[in-house]
Structure 1
Amino acid sequence: MNMTFRWYGRGNDTVQLDQVKQIPGVKGIVWALHHKPVGEAWGKNEIKSEVDYIKSFGFHAEVVESVNVHEAIKLGNQDRESYIENYKQTIRNLGEFGVKVICYNFMPIFDWTRSDLFRELPDGSTALFYEKEIVENRDPKELIQTFSSYSDMTLPGWEPEKIGRIKELFDAYKDMTEEDLWENLRYFLEEILPVAEEAGIKMAIHPDDPPWSIFGLPRIMTGRESLNKLLSISNSPSNGITFCTGSLGSSRSNDMVALSAEFAHKSPFAHIRNVKIFDNGDFIETSHLTSDGSIDIKGVVKELSAINYDGYVRPDHGRHIWGEKCRPGYGLYDRALGIMHLLGLWDAFQTMKKENH
């Protein structure tokens, strides 16, 4: 298990790398050029600057999250070719600086979706919350305004420039089916996977969050069937999954222990976090502790230990605790606690394996 920590960059994060350095067991920083407009190629000089800075703290910079996919590619329209070429060049440039995994997603218009960024939990901490009725009955423009204006820091997937284009984007997707979106994903992968192989990079698609349709938009990365369908598009070693327990696990139909046993070997990158699902379909993010949520985090780590998983892992969204003022879901304290819990489980299962042999 190669433990990492997601960081949003200099001047764009409340967390500093000298703080992350004090968390035992963290080997690498998961990063991106968050200031770059979606669809624009990442230049070598700006990549080198970020990688050198990360390495100066003793971390590797082998995982990028995310190189976002332009809407033209998802829509499959006439503009997609130029954006695919930019994506290919970004892959080549990242490969030159030692990047091994690129996380991406194929969610139309919106990235992860919540109704409340700071819902209070019984212990007084706050966390990201999804209230089904609000999302199903809320104007998406209102939601994106809420997300994009919460602070001066970027919130990937909820860029302010989308506000003015929201009607245009919805109109573009109004007749798109899930099969149409699958076809556009297939086209994209067939174009970029050979380039990724040459660059020594694994592409790891992130599941939809939550894993069901919102605002009438198609969503296709939702569970076991879709993960298998993704892998059937290409047997390229660069075609992989970002195994996110919180995204897939927010649907009760997804057994995360069973899915980890089935798909861990095709997941070069894993996000491990917990959510508590309520009877009406609402869910809230919790600590990483199994007993605090609805996902068997202990069972997931046990499955990873069973195959001596050597991919990259990071704690995913954390609560906001001890009065920390931070990017929603991405503070320092609770993610540090999550790392120690995950590494503790890993150490325990690895030790048990050795003793049993």
Structure 2
Amino acid sequence: MLMHETMRWFGPHDPVSLSDIRQAGCAGVVTALHQVPVGEMWSLAAIRERQYLIEQAGMSWTVVESLPVSEDIKRRSGHYLTHIANYRESLHHLAACGIKVVTYNFMPVLDWVRTDISYPLPDGSKALYFERAAFVAFDLFMLKRPAATSDYSSIEIALAHAWWQSHTDEQKDTVFRNALLGLPGSTGRFEPAEILTALTAYQQVDADQLRENLFYFLGEVIPAAEALGLKMAIHPDDPPYPVLGLPRIVSTEADLHRIIQAVPSPANGLCYCTGSLGVRSGNDLTGIIQRLGTHIHFLHLRNTRHDDAGNFFEAAHLDGDADMVGIVRELLLLMKQRNISLPVRPDHGHQMLDDLHKTTYPGYSCIGRLKGLAELRGLQVGLAGKLLEKTSKEV
């Protein structure tokens, strides 16, 4: 049994068309109603309209990514009760349309962070990159977050000073703009004052409080999801450690286990992202599949190269620190054991070939993701044949 191959699509304004995705060999599309403000309900009509576009292109809407969780819910303040009620109603509408998996994250304020969205690789393609010293310099000298120095070691601060002294104003401006990027699929950027205001609202929310707020949210929505036959899949933090003084609570295997145990249910599960989890050296990627595999509902397969200083870049899908061969082998065994085909998408991709001359969402150009999809497809087909051969010999 092979994975159900999909690709992420950001809607009618995405430079990558549904036709492009279909030609890549995908049977499913991963998307969301990005036009709906966070916290508001997704109407049945809007869901069906998006679903119709995808079906007309010869594919199915397989997974929602993401049904976003509002900052009010994450802080458990303001309009959080209304937003939770809207979330449950959105789940009802999604289930009525036959959608089975809903992905979400619980990262405060920032969805993901990179300092360079056009990091040049030796072959001429471009990748996403996170440089720790550059980000600390952004926090200290550009954003000028109050009390930011207390979150960094003296060595990190010294490295940030050295970075600041050795880079041009243009390079600093590039990091400034990249660090303030909005949600994936958006061309907008946060304003510094907007970020500082949002950070202020989290001053009383530490990791324990944020975790408690997540568990409260799960207690409110998981029973509804289970009754509807939906699977909720939480996405790990990206990067998997605190940024801008904000806590991160979905970064380690222990975090994932606590989330699953908080509200035990077949609907309470994981989006297994090898890129996010793989940046943290202590995460055993194949071990997570072995120990938590029954709770995995959606797969993001990508690779990174990282170091002990906290720097990382998006490597080719089969050429990073993650043992993608071992990971895919474990996933194939997991799917055989569970008798299911898990939805998968090649997460991120290098900007390359003709896409170098196009404006695309960072990490989501077409050709790089197609290359990753082809590599992963070949890998799993080859491994599946070997596993079948092994099974036949054992019989």
214, 231, 238: which one aligns with 1:185: 214
Higher mean C-alpha displacement, 208-217 vs 341-350: 341-350
Please say if residues 114 and 178 of structure 2, whose CA atoms lie closer than 8 Å, have aligned partners that are also in contact: no
| Deviation string, structure 1 residues 265-310 (Cα, Å, up to 9, x no partner) | 2111010000011343210001111xx2111111100101112252
Please say if residues 147 and 158 of structure 1, whose CA atoms lie closer than 8 Å, have aligned partners that are also in contact: no
Alignment root-mean-square deviation, CA: 2.1
In structure 2, the partner of 1:246 is 275
* Amino acid of the structure 1 residue aligned with 2:342: G
The SS at the match of 1:73 is helix
In structure 1, the partner of 2:39 is 39
> Is there any run of 5+ residues in structure 2 with no aligned partner, and where?
144-172
In structure 1, the partner of 2:377 is 343
In the alignment, the residues of structure 2 paired with residue 155 and residue 236 of structure 1 have an alpha-carbon distance, to the nearest angstrom, of: 29
361, 365, 384: which one aligns with 1:327: 361
In structure 2, the partner of 1:235 is 264
> Is there any run of 5+ residues in structure 1 with no aligned partner, and where?
none
| Deviation string, structure 1 residues 9-65 (Cα, Å, up to 9, x no partner) | 101x111111111123x2200010111111111111111110011011121112000
In structure 1, the partner of 2:23 is 22
In the alignment, the residues of structure 2 paired with residue 148 and residue 115 of structure 1 have an alpha-carbon distance, to the nearest angstrom, of: 6
Spell out the pairing of 1:146-161 with structure 2 (5 A cutoff).
146-147=177-178, 155-156=184-185, 160=189
- The 1:165–1:279 alpha-carbon spacing in structure 2 relative to 1, beyond 3 Å, is closer
Larger Rg: 2
Query: TM-score normalized by structure 2?
Result: 0.84
Query: TM-score normalized by structure 1?
Result: 0.93
Please say if residues 148 and 159 of structure 1, whose CA atoms lie closer than 8 Å, have aligned partners that are also in contact: no
In structure 1, the partner of 2:329 is 302
* Amino acid of the structure 2 residue aligned with 1:20: I
| Deviation string, structure 1 residues 50-108 (Cα, Å, up to 9, x no partner) | 00110111211120000111001100114210111111111111111111011000001
Give the share of equivalent positions with the same residue, in percent: 37
* Amino acid of the structure 1 residue aligned with 2:8: R
Spell out the pairing of 1:193-272 with structure 2 (5 A cutoff).
193-272=222-301
Please say if residues 245 and 271 of structure 1, whose CA atoms lie closer than 8 Å, have aligned partners that are also in contact: yes
Please say if residues 128 and 363 of structure 2, whose CA atoms lie closer than 8 Å, have aligned partners that are also in contact: yes
In structure 1, the partner of 2:151 is none
Per-residue deviation at 1:262?
A: 2.1
Is 2:354 aligned against 1:353? no
Please say if residues 114 and 179 of structure 2, whose CA atoms lie closer than 8 Å, have aligned partners that are also in contact: no
Per-residue deviation at 1:344?
A: 1.2
In the alignment, the residues of structure 1 paired with residue 201 and residue 112 of structure 2 have an alpha-carbon distance, to the nearest angstrom, of: 20
Please say if residues 187 and 361 of structure 2, whose CA atoms lie closer than 8 Å, have aligned partners that are also in contact: no
- The 1:163–1:233 alpha-carbon spacing in structure 2 relative to 1, beyond 3 Å, is same
Per-residue deviation at 1:162?
A: 6.3
In the alignment, the residues of structure 2 paired with residue 10 and residue 212 of structure 1 have an alpha-carbon distance, to the nearest angstrom, of: 34
- The 1:99–1:159 alpha-carbon spacing in structure 2 relative to 1, beyond 3 Å, is farther
In structure 1, the partner of 2:61 is 61
Is 2:103 aligned against 1:103? yes
In structure 1, the partner of 2:12 is 10
For these two proteins, the number of residue pairs brought into alignment is: 351
In the alignment, the residues of structure 2 paired with residue 195 and residue 181 of structure 1 have an alpha-carbon distance, to the nearest angstrom, of: 22
Per-residue deviation at 1:122?
A: 1.1
